Structure 1
Amino acid sequence: MSGLSWIKGIALLSSIIYLCSCASIVSGGPKTLPIMSQPDEANFEIIDIRTGNTILKARTPYTATLERSAGFFQNAKYKIKLVKDGYLPQEHQIDSSINGWYFGNIIFGGLIGILIVDPATGAMWKIYDDNINVKLYPDSKEGRISLATEKYNGEEPYKNDDYNQAISDTTTAIGYYPEYIDAYCLRSAAFVRIGELEKAMSDLNKAIELKSDYPRGYKERAELYIKKDEFKKALSDLDKAISLKSDYADALLVRGKTHLRLNNNAEAKTDIRSACEMGNTSACHFQF
């Protein structure tokens, strides 16, 4: 092979590799990430979750540089721990996820970009956060309540069907705020979703113990009793819920369906029609 041909071959190979790594071209390199807190001047450390090593210690505000990959075909995972005198410690997790440009290799690059270049350079991963801004809560009763109800209420993961995370969040919330009734109810609902009925019942019993005039607690405990075919206990709880909230359409619908299972047809029709009149669309569409 002549010198000129050899140079052309090297140039061609370099071009192929360059073109086959779509994510590396478009968005390669480490992530520059501002770390902030409210208020500022909080001390923080960033921990590589995969290794357990602390990779940075600094004070907010600070701009950190983070690798997006933890190795070949491994995304990076980081935990930020923040502390400040007079405030509750906070944690925040950062995970890199698949870079949308990585799939550009299917069209433009081929297998070299998909299987070698982008995984090796870490460009197949992306940290989508533009910045991290953590609210700190005062180390006081009010601060603990605010932290529990604002950050760890479990509502977002529950809506996203991430029931284990909802359980984890509400457990943290209860640790900060042991009288957080809604957290017990939501955790109970999450336990039901993963089949942990006894734990769900325990949470509802606790919610009712904390607030004996809490209609939601009785209604949701009644639904658990129904799952266990304990219909008399369910009716007792539903009666209590409706006595506490006479326009509780959801409870009326559940009580109507329970009466129907017990062949109490007249009572069932009365409850379900009442629920419909109160605006419950499921009751209005119910077929006897």
Structure 2
Amino acid sequence: MNPFRIRSFTTAASVGVALLCSNCATVFNRTTQPVRVASNPSGLTFKVTDKEGVVVGNGTTPGEVRLKTSSNYFVPAAYIFTFSKNGKVVGSQVLTARVSGWYAGNILIGGLIGLVIVDPLTGAMYTLPDDVNFGGQPMASVTHDSGSLQFVSIDQLDGEQRARLARL
């Protein structure tokens, strides 16, 4: 084999690998991700809104929504999940994207293009948690040395807890 051809092939292969790795997060992450939504009790309806208050998803627990990881250039996405039962809001939870570990690959490999252009523009530099779990929150809570007292909606009690209730 011709040594010149081997050197040319090696150089071309090295350049190709460097270009592919220059935006690591874009290679390994997606700009939208599925997020599983669960609640206790299940069967709650949920609505997902973005920072501007635009509804970007809804459903019933357990369910799933696809959400964007970024809201703008170098801006992670943030969402508010509002949970309801019989039309009454029972709680909400915030979900915010965080910087992906794959984004650091740009620093290690020296991909300036991926670091400041490709990954931030596509939103692939961010990742969302895989799921949102909403557990009914107490409406009020009081703690004293001898114990604690919590006020909750009757909708948050299971059958066994409801059976132990006493009418006052």
What TM-score, normalized to structure 2?
0.69
**Residue 106 (structure 1) aligns with:** 107
- Once residues 76 and 22 of structure 1 are traced to their aligned partners in structure 2, the CA distance between those partners, rounded to angstroms, is 20
Deviation at 1:13, TM superposition (A): 7.9
**Residue 65 (structure 1) aligns with:** 66
**Residue 38 (structure 1) aligns with:** 40
1:137-195: CA deviations, max 9, x gaps?
A: 5xxxxx4235x88xxxxxxxxxxxxxxxxxxxxxxxxxx89xxxxxxxxxxxxxxxxxx
> Does the 8 A contact of 2:58 with 2:65 survive in 1?
no
Aligned length: 134
What TM-score, normalized to structure 1?
0.42
**Residue 145 (structure 1) aligns with:** 140
> Does the 8 A contact of 2:83 with 2:92 survive in 1?
yes
Q: Does 1:26 align with 2:28?
A: yes
Greater RCO, 1 or 2 (C-alpha within 8 Å, sep 6+): 2
Question: Mind listing any 5+ residue stretches in structure 1 that lack a counterpart?
Answer: 1-10, 138-142, 150-175, 178-288
Matches within 5 A, 1:162-173: none
Greater per-residue strand proportion: 2
**Residue 133 (structure 2) aligns with:** 133
Matches within 5 A, 1:187-266: none
Greater per-residue helix proportion: 1
The amino acid that maps onto 1:133 is N
Deviation at 1:136, TM superposition (A): 2.0
Q: Give the 3-state SS of the residue equivalent to 2:94 in structure 1.
A: strand
The 3 A distance-change label for structure 1 pair 27 and 109 is farther
Runs of 4+ that moved beyond 6 A: 11-14
The 3 A distance-change label for structure 1 pair 119 and 14 is farther
Deviation at 1:67, TM superposition (A): 0.8
Deviation at 1:85, TM superposition (A): 3.3
> Does the 8 A contact of 2:49 with 2:79 survive in 1?
yes
Question: Mind listing any 5+ residue stretches in structure 2 that lack a counterpart?
Answer: 1-12, 144-150, 153-168
- Once residues 86 and 48 of structure 1 are traced to their aligned partners in structure 2, the CA distance between those partners, rounded to angstroms, is 21
Identical-residue share of aligned pairs (%)? 30
The amino acid that maps onto 1:117 is V
The 3 A distance-change label for structure 1 pair 18 and 40 is same
Q: CA RMSD in A?
A: 2.9
Deviation at 1:61, TM superposition (A): 0.9
The 3 A distance-change label for structure 1 pair 26 and 63 is same
1:6-64: CA deviations, max 9, x gaps?
A: xxxxx998765422001112223422111011111111100001x22011121111111
The 3 A distance-change label for structure 1 pair 81 and 88 is closer
The amino acid that maps onto 2:115 is I
- Once residues 78 and 21 of structure 1 are traced to their aligned partners in structure 2, the CA distance between those partners, rounded to angstroms, is 26
Mark the structure with the bigger radius of gyration.
1
The amino acid that maps onto 2:136 is L
